[in-house]
Amino acid sequence: LGKQVTLLDRTTSTQEDARQLAEEGAPEGTLVISEEQTGGRGRMGRRFHSPRGKGIWMSLVLRPKQPLHLTQQLTLLTGVAVCRAIMKSAGIKTDIKWPNDILFQGKKVCGILLESATEDERVRYCVAGIGISANLKETDFPEELRDVATSIRMAGGKTINRTELIQTIMAEMEVLYELYNEQGFEPISSLWEALSGSIGREVRVQTMRDSFIGIATGLNKDGALLVRNNENETIPVYSGDILFNT
Ligand code: BTN
């Protein structure tokens, strides 16, 4: 993975560039990286702040064989890869907030956006978008993000080598993706649970339809978050957001 790289100076969103390359037949592992995004996108139609030169804004083309409802597993796999790579390359211990935020001491350092193109329930390709506020300073964040976001540089006190971190992420992705293709989701799920800051905590679950409070207990075999509510029922949460209650 990451053997074919397109490096851009400025783009709207690397998600769109990677999607276009995938449509043109680009092989699995094709990576698009940009110094700046003018229309960076997050989950649920949110904007993703991607200023020039200090972050890692990149999108990876994957061509998984799994059916559509299992692509959530790839979001979790990508989170594990990034979390491990940040530890290896920058020595910073982060954890994962379901499904896809990488946090340092409760503040977001990385967001992951996995998008799939389908045809009759079959996945044609996926684009895994990774956005890391690698070397941003506090003043590089807009005011409204300063309480909830941080960077690897702010966490560790020194500028990190972005190229090296990207290479480490690709190496981790490759190992985990191979493990996933050979042994399925179970080993990935265990790794994710060990890195998760969500398990065992009281969370507020916010889905399109409702909102409830419970204790996050683990993942099911699809990658949905299991949350035990006040009636002692365990609910699998397939999509949505969680907020920590305490
Ligand atoms: C989220 O936190 O909701 C996900 C953020 C994903 C951001 C990355 S940056 C590279 C790629 N291009 C985008 O427009 N978004 C993803």
pLDDT digits (tens, 9 = 90+) for 59-118: 999 999 888 878 899 999 999 999 999 999 999 999 999 998 999 999 999 999 999 999
Instruction: Please say which residue of 195, 210, 232 terminates a domain.
Output: 195
pTM above 0.90, yes or no: yes
| Domain hosting residue 152, numbered range | 5-195
236: CATH: 2.30.30.100
pLDDT at position 246, please? 55
Q: What is the pLDDT of residues 182-205, one digit of tens each?
A: 999 999 999 999 999 989 999 999
CA of 126 to the centre of ligand 1 (A): 14
148: CATH: 3.30.930.10
Asked if 153 and 223 sit in the same domain, the reply is no
Asked if 135 and 74 sit in the same domain, the reply is yes
Asked if 188 and 220 sit in the same domain, the reply is no
CA of 163 to the centre of ligand 1 (A): 18
Contact 98, 242 (CB under 8 A): yes
Asked if 47 and 101 sit in the same domain, the reply is yes
Identity at 125, one-letter amino acid code:
Y
Asked if 96 and 168 sit in the same domain, the reply is yes
Instruction: Please say which residue of 195, 215, 234 terminates a domain.
Output: 195
Q: What is the mean pLDDT of residues 10-15?
A: 98
Asked if 21 and 56 sit in the same domain, the reply is yes
**Is the CB of 111 within 6 Å of ligand 1?**
yes
DSSP annotation string for 84-139: HHHHHHH----EEETTTEEEETTEEEEEEEEEEEEETTEEEEEEEEEEE--S--GG
Joined together, the tokens standing for residue 186 give: 């179970």
Domain count, the chain: 2
Alpha-carbon distance of 208 to 43, in angstroms, equals 13
Alpha-carbon distance of 170 to 243, in angstroms, equals 29
Asked if 81 and 191 sit in the same domain, the reply is yes
CA of 194 to the centre of ligand 1 (A): 24
How many helices and strands (H and E) does the chain possess? Answer: 5, 12
Angle between helix 186-195 and 162-183 (nearest 10): 140
Joined together, the tokens standing for residue 233 give: 């029922």
- Nearest ligand 1 atom to the CA of 13 is 14
Residue (of 196, 199, 224, 194) closest to 214 by Cα position: 199
Q: What is the pLDDT of residues 122-135, one digit of tens each?
A: 899 999 999 999 99
**Beta strand 107-119 with 225-229: parallel, antiparallel or unpaired?**
unpaired
Asked if 55 and 170 sit in the same domain, the reply is yes
Contact 60, 2 (CB under 8 A): yes
Asked if 229 and 190 sit in the same domain, the reply is no
Asked if 223 and 182 sit in the same domain, the reply is no
Q: What is the mean pLDDT of residues 26-32?
A: 97
**Is the CB of 11 within 6 Å of ligand 1?**
no
Asked if 187 and 220 sit in the same domain, the reply is no
- Nearest ligand 1 atom to the CA of 15 is 12
Asked if 23 and 104 sit in the same domain, the reply is yes
